[in-house]
Amino acid sequence: VVEKCLTLGAKKIFYIPADMSSPSEPERAVQFAVQKLGGLDYLVLNHIGMTRFQMWAGDVEYTRRLMQVNFFSYVALATAALPTLEKNKGSLVIVSSLTGKIPTPFTTSYSATKFALDGFFSSLRHELIMQKRNVSITLCILGLIDTDTALENTRGKVHLTASPAPEAALAIIQGSAMRVQEVFYPWWLQHVCCLWVLSPSDRDQVLQSYYNYSSP
C-alpha cells in the first residue's frame, strides 16, 4: 500500500500495524492518526476478520471473535475519532455488505456483524443529528466484489457475477464526499433491498436459487 501511494504522488505516508481483535488497539490507532495528521476529516472503516463462507457449524467462539473485529472495533474506532471529526465537520464511512440488509446462506456470523453495524451506526446518525453535531455517517452496502479473497470463498457456491473493486472504491469515495446516508454498489442493490421488504412471500426461494448446495 505504501509503495502504491508513493507511485500515485503521495508526499508523506504514515501507517501503524494494529490488530483489531484486541480491544485496546482501536483507540491507539486513532491516537496515532490524530497525532501524525493533526486531526481527521474522514474515518473509513473497512477491515474484516477471517471469514468462513460455509453453513453454520456451531462455532460460537468464532462468531464472538468475528464480532470483535467486524463490529466492536468499528464502534471503538468511531468513538475515539468523534471529537476530532466533530471539530473538523468530518465524516464516518462504514463499509458494510448486502448481507447486512438481507440474510443470506453461508454467512451466518458475517451477516450478524453487518446487521449490527447497520443498527448501531444508523441509530448513532439519528443521535448526532438530534444533538446538532456536524458529523456525517455514510453506510456503504456492497454486493459481491471481485477481490481475490471474495472470489476464492464463493467459488462454486454462488451463481452471481462479482463487481469490479475499483468501481466499488469510487462509489464509496463519491458517496462519502457527498455525505449521503447510504451508498449501494452496484446501484441496483437498493432495488433488491426494497423488493426484499415488499415481497416476503416467495423471496426466500428466489434468493436460495442463487446458491449451490447439495445436502450431505
So which residues are the catalytic ones? 110
Say if residue 38 is exposed, middle or buried (CB neighbours under 10 Å; 0-12, 13-18, 19+).
exposed
DSSP reduced 3-state for 170: helix
Q: Could you tell me if 92 and 85 are in contact, meaning their C-beta atoms sit under 8 angstroms apart?
A: yes
φ and ψ at 5, to 5 degrees?
-65, -40
Q: What b/e readout covers 92-101, taking b as 16+ CB neighbours within 10 angstroms? A: bbbbbbbbbb
Q: Is the dihedral of CA 36, 89, 180, 78 positive or negative?
A: positive
Q: What is the DSSP string of 13-61?
A: -------TTSTTHHHHHHHHHHHHHSS-SEEEE--------S-----HH
